[in-house]
C-alpha cells in the first residue's frame, strides 16, 4: 500500500501553473532538447537523406541502405511525438490526485525513456556503420554528406538526453514519497513547512514549536514586581 503522499499526490492542485518555473526545470529542458534533436534527425533524412543517380529511384545516402533511413525516420518521429506527449503530461502531472495514476505516469515515463535511449544507441551504431561503409562512388559530389553527419551526431546527443531522462524517471519511481521530485513548482514556505524552533524552559527540557516568537503552552507571564515582592528578605543583624 502506497503512503498518502506518495508520488507527490499530497500536493495535487495546491499550486497554480507557473510557466517560468516549468520551462526552467531541468526535466523540461531535457525534454525540449530531446524534441529538437529528434526533429533534426528525421528532418535531415527526409530532406537530404535520399539521392537519385541517373534514375528516378531514390537511394539512401547511408550505403544505399533504405533500412537505415527508415530506421532513423521512424525513431525520430516516435521520439518527437513522445517528447510532446510527456511535456503535456508534465504540465498536468501536479493536478493528478490519484496515486495510482501518478505511479502509472512515472512508470510510463521510465519505460519510454529507457526504450528511446536504447533505440537511439542502436540507431547511432547502425547509421555510423552504414556511413562508414559508404564509398565515394555512391555519393557523387558528396550529396547528402552533411545531412548524414548531422544525423549521426544528433543521434548521439539523443542518447545522452534520453539516458538522463531515464535516470530521472527511475529516481522518481524508486523514491515515490519524495514530493519535490514530482513537481516543477516552487513550494513556498507556509505554516506547515515552518522550521521547528526549540524553546528552552527553566528545568532543562525543551519544547519544540513551529511558531516562533510564541510562548510555550502552559506558561505564565511573570510580573517583575511580583518577583520582587516574593523575594525573601535577608535577616537584619
How confident is the model over 163-208, as pLDDT tens digits? 999 999 999 889 874 544 545 444 444 444 444 444 454 455 544 4
Q: Please write the tens of the pLDDT for every residue from 98-112.
A: 888 989 999 999 999
CATH ID of 19-182, from 1.10.10, 1.10.287, 1.20.140, 1.10.1060: 1.20.140
Q: For residue 178, what pLDDT is reported?
A: 54
Query: Among candidates 214, 178, 230, 229, which has minimal Cα distance to 7?
Result: 178
Q: Are residues 105 and 93 in contact, defined by beta-carbon separation less than 8 angstroms?
A: yes
How many C-beta neighbours within 10 Å does residue 162 have? 29
Q: For residue 149, what pLDDT is reported?
A: 93
User: In what helix (H) or strand (E) does residue 226 lie, and over which residues does it extend?
Assistant: helix 224-230
Q: For residue 180, what pLDDT is reported?
A: 47
- Would you say the pTM of this structure is higher than 0.75? no
Strand 206-209 with 197-200, pairing? antiparallel
C-alpha span between 14 and 27 (Å, rounded) = 21
Q: For residue 151, what pLDDT is reported?
A: 96
Q: Please write the tens of the pLDDT for every residue from 24-67.
A: 999 999 999 999 999 999 999 999 888 887 767 888 899 889 99
Q: Are residues 79 and 161 in contact, defined by beta-carbon separation less than 8 angstroms?
A: no
Q: Please write the tens of the pLDDT for every residue from 198-225.
A: 445 445 554 444 444 454 554 455 555 5
3-state secondary structure of 136: helix
Determine the average pLDDT of the residues in 91-96.
88
Lowest mean pLDDT among 12-26, 64-78, 119-133, 159-173: 12-26
Amino acid at each position: 500500500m502506497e503512503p498518502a503522499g506518495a508520488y507527490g499526490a499530497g500536493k495535487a492542485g495546491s499550486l497554480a501553473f507557473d510557466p517560468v518555473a516549468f520551462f526552467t526545470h531541468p526535466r523540461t529542458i531535457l525534454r525540449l532538447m530531446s524534441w529538437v534533436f529528434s526533429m533534426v534527425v528525421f528532418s535531415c533524412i527526409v530532406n537530404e537523406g535520399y539521392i537519385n543517380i541517373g534514375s528516378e529511384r531514390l537511394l539512401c545516402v547511408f550505403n544505399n541502405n533504405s533500412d537505415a533511413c527508415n530506421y532513423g525516420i521512424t525513431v525520430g518521429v516516435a521520439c518527437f511525438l513522445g517528447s510532446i506527449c510527456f511535456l503535456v503530461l508534465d504540465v498536468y502531472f501536479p493536478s493528478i490526485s490519484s496515486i495510482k495514476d501518478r505511479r502509472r505516469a512515472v512508470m510510463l515515463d521510465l519505460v519510454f525513456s529507457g526504450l528511446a535511449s536504447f533505440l537511439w544507441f542502436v540507431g547511432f551504431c547502425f547509421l555510423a556503420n552504414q556511413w562508414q561503409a559508404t564509398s565515394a562512388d555512391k555519393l557523387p559530389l558528396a550529396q547528402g554528406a552533411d545531412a548524414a553527419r548531422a544525423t549521426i551526431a544528433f543521434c548521439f546527443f539523443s542518447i545522452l538526453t534520453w539516458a538522463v531522462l531515464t535516470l530521472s524517471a527511475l529516481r522518481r519511481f524508486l523514491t515515490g514519497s519524495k514530493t519535490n521530485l514530482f513537481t516543477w513548482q516552487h513550494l513556498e514556505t507556509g505554516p506547515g513547512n515552518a522550521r521547528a524552533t526549540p524553546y528552552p524552559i527553566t528545568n532543562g527540557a525543551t519544547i519544540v514549536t513551529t511558531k516562533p516568537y510564541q510562548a510555550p503552552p502552559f506558561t505564565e507571564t511573570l510580573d517583575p514586581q511580583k518577583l520582587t515582592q516574593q523575594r525573601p528578605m535577608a535577616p537584619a543583624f
